[in-house]
Amino acid sequence: MLHPFSDLQAFQRDTLGFMLNRGCAATEPLVQLRVGISPVFLVADPSLAKHILKETEDKLDKGRLIWKMREVLGRSSLTISGEEHRTRRAAIHRQLATGVAGNYIPIICSIIDQWIAETTAQKEDIKVHQTTARLAMRIIGAIVFGHNVLSRADETAIVEAVALAEDDLAARIFQVLPDMPWQKRAKKEKLARAKAIMTNVVARNRPKATEGSLMQAFEELALDDQTLNEEVMLMLLSGHHTSGTAMAWLVYYLATDSDLNQKLVEESALLTKDGLELTASSIRKAPISKKFVQEVVRLYPSTYWLSRETKRSISLGDRVLKKGTSLIISPWHYHRDAKYWNEPDQFNIDRKFVGDHYMPFGLGARACVGMNLAMLELQLLALNFASSINARVTSQIPAAPPRASITLHPSDIRISVTPAKPNVSTFQDVA
């Protein structure tokens, strides 16, 4: 017999499998999920999802599932709406767009080159996600504060803060039953430690921020200290974790597909032929690395779910939804549904990455503000890794499925590495 909690156990046991199975089996655009007292629907039709993500905030807004993140991220741009959100987003977008078109490429290449040297110097097998998360942290730290501003101790502290906060926060978002007092106290203490670590890193490095860093855009918004800290924490957490996850899968496929690896070596050589410097324009037109990255984020979208909540009673997908109804949009489902992709679980860069069913960074005015930066750094990593490293997977092949938390955690992927050639960068270093 169906009851308000009849789907909860299956949802909590295997969130990704639950979303995929319910979405693929759907015969209607909206599928009711019985995971609590409040109404929740999975948006099974990607064309309806596109409409939802572009709808005005007076009808559909982020809602309680996102607002629960305020416990860690406060009133950052992830957790606010309206004119305040648009103003902050516009400032961040302007700064990132200027950097992607200009000085970010040599900075990112320099960081990748250093990471390549450190990685190939290791004698033991590499834990892939552990090392790519640290690489992503260095890149986003350079974007936020400036190149070489964050120390290695700062990077370690931020990684520690993420580990303290993420799983408990993820569980809280979809939590139905309240914690026992001792559970609540333990979670609160962990979150407080995570926030304290992040706040200290931001406060220590804010005065060191260099010209052209994202911190300048935040300063121009005249945010109070607490709000500015929360905005920077959001950028560090999201930039580190989502990019680090995508980078891990990118490295995995490079280590398992020698033909693809060679194609990327040739593309890298062509892009830098006769001493040419990489530019935003040349990177965008590099077809192999671009399609490779697009396929990686199709199979493993770091943002595997999005949500909206009805702000008033509305008609949607042949249903009338009352105020307070949560709508779950799952790129994980869309990207792996056989209705939209041929052999959706297979890795294949020769796909057409178009249509409403492809949304690794969301859609509409509130799509991920850092998506162009993410694509850039992933392409640069693919080109340099393929050219500089011989890698072999020493863990399970195929890799085990990811684990769902706030983002998708890659499985325990390990590789052995050796330099592909003398450690001479194909990229221009930053002094």
Tens of pLDDT, residue by residue over 301-318, are: 978 999 999 999 999 988
pLDDT at 160 exceeding the cut of 90:
no
pLDDT of residue 88 exceeding 80: yes
Residue 81, phi then psi, degrees to nearest 5: -140, -175
- Strands in 258-393 per DSSP E: 306-310, 314-316, 319-321, 326-329, 389-393
171/33: higher pLDDT: 33
**Across 216-241, average pLDDT:** 83
Say if CB 126 and CB 414 are below 8 A apart. yes
pLDDT for res 175: 66
Taking the model in full, what pTM does it have? 0.91
Cis amide leading into 360 (omega within 30): no
| Total residue length of the chain | 431
pLDDT at 310: 96
Q: At 355, list the tokens.
A: 């249509």
Selected residue with higher pLDDT from 39 and 218: 39
The single residue listed with the structure tokens 């106290």 is 185
pLDDT score, position 425: 44
126: β partners: 415
Confidence grade of residue 246 (pLDDT, cut at 50, 70, 90)? very high
**Overall average pLDDT of the 72-96 stretch:** 87
pLDDT for residue 338: 97
Q: Both ends of the chain: CA-CA distance in Å?
A: 67
What pLDDT was estimated at residue 300? 95
The order of strands in the sheet holding 126-127 is: 126-127, 414-419, 389-393
Output 218 or 400, whichever has higher pLDDT.
400
Per-residue DSSP letter, 122: -
Give the pairing type, strands 414-419 and 126-127: antiparallel
